[in-house]
Amino acid sequence: MAVTVEYVPEEDTLAIVTIRETQSASLRTTNAILIAALLISSYFLNVLFIVAVLITKSFRTTIYLMYCHLSFVNIIDLSFNIFFALIFVANGNWNLSNGWCTFNVAIQEFVHLHTLLVLMLIGAERALGIILGPEYVTHGHKYLSGLRITGVSMILSCVSITLASIVFMNVIPTKPFRNRYVCGIDGGGPIGYVIARLVVYFGCLAVILVAIGAILQRRTAASISPNTQEYAEFIKRNRAMQEHRSRAKLMILITCVFIGIEGPYITLCFFYETYNSREFSDVSIDLPQDADTLITWLKFVFPLLCPIIMLSWCNDVWTKVKEVMCCRSYDPPTIGHMPGLRENADMSPVMTVVGGENGLRIKSETQGYALRQSWNQTPSVSSYESEATSSGTHETNSTITPPQQSSAASTGGTTYPAEVLTPRESDTKPKTQKSAPSKIPRQIPQFKTKRSTSRTKKSTVASRRPA
Q: What is the mean pLDDT of residues 364-386?
A: 45
The answer, yes or no, to whether residue 389 has pLDDT greater than 80, is no
Structural domain count, the chain:
1
Q: What is the mean pLDDT of residues 417-441?
A: 48
pLDDT confidence tier of residue 313, bands split at 50, 70 and 90: very high
Q: What percent of the chain has pLDDT over 70?
A: 59
Supply the pLDDT for residue 136.
Answer: 72
Of the ranges 131-135, 189-193, 440-444, which is most confident?
Answer: 189-193
The answer, yes or no, to whether residue 377 has pLDDT greater than 70, is no
Q: What percent of the chain has pLDDT over 90?
A: 34
The answer, yes or no, to whether residue 379 has pLDDT greater than 60, is no
DSSP 47-110: HHHHHHHHT-GGG-SHHHHHHHHHHHHHHHHIIIIIHHHHHHHHHSS--S-HHHHHHHHHHHHH
Q: 3 versus 291: which is more confidently predicted?
A: 291
Whether the pTM exceeds 0.75: the reply is no
The answer, yes or no, to whether residue 1 has pLDDT greater than 70, is no
How many CA atoms, within 13 angstroms, populate the side-chain half-sphere of residue 244? 29
- C-alpha span between 413 and 100 (Å, rounded): 114
Q: What is the mean pLDDT of residues 405-433?
A: 46
Residue 192 in any domain: the answer is yes
DSSP 259-328: HHHHHHHHHHHHHHHHHTSSTTTT------HHHHHHHHHHHHTHHHHHHHHHHHH-HHHHHHHHHHHHT-
Q: What is the mean pLDDT of residues 225-253?
A: 80
Q: 101 versus 432: which is more confidently predicted?
A: 101
* Contact yes or no for 41/304 (Cβ under 8 A): yes
Rounded to 10 degrees, what is the CA torsion of 68, 70, 74, 80? Answer: 100
The backbone torsions φ and ψ at residue 329, rounded to the nearest 5 degrees and listed phi first, read -115, 140
Q: Over the stretch 146-164, which tens digit does the pLDDT of each residue have?
A: 788 888 889 999 999 999 9
Residue 169 in any domain: the answer is yes
Residue 394 in any domain: the answer is no
How many CA atoms, within 13 angstroms, populate the side-chain half-sphere of residue 261? 18
Question: Quick one: which H or E segment has residue 211?
Answer: helix 191-217
Nearest in space to 63 (alpha carbons), one of 157, 136, 132: 136
Residue 365 in any domain: the answer is no
In whole numbers, what is the pLDDT of the chain averaged over residues?
75
The backbone torsions φ and ψ at residue 378, rounded to the nearest 5 degrees and listed phi first, read -60, 125
CATH of the domain at 169: 1.20.1070.10
Question: Residue 216 has what DSSP assignment?
Answer: H
Q: Which domain holds residue 158?
A: 10-326
Residue 31 in any domain: the answer is yes
- Picking from 249-258, 295-304, 419-428, which range would have the lowest pLDDT averaged per residue? 419-428
Supply the pLDDT for residue 129.
Answer: 84
Please list the residues that pair with 360 across neighbouring strands: 355
Residue 299 in any domain: the answer is yes
Supply the pLDDT for residue 335.
Answer: 53
Question: Residue 140 has what DSSP assignment?
Answer: G
- C-alpha span between 384 and 388 (Å, rounded): 9
147 CB neighbour count, 10 Å cutoff: 9
Q: What is the mean pLDDT of residues 187-196?
A: 89
Supply the pLDDT for residue 357.
Answer: 67
Residue 309 in any domain: the answer is yes
Residue 175 in any domain: the answer is yes
- Picking from 38-52, 100-114, 274-288, which range would have the lowest pLDDT averaged per residue? 274-288
Q: What is the mean pLDDT of residues 315-337?
A: 72
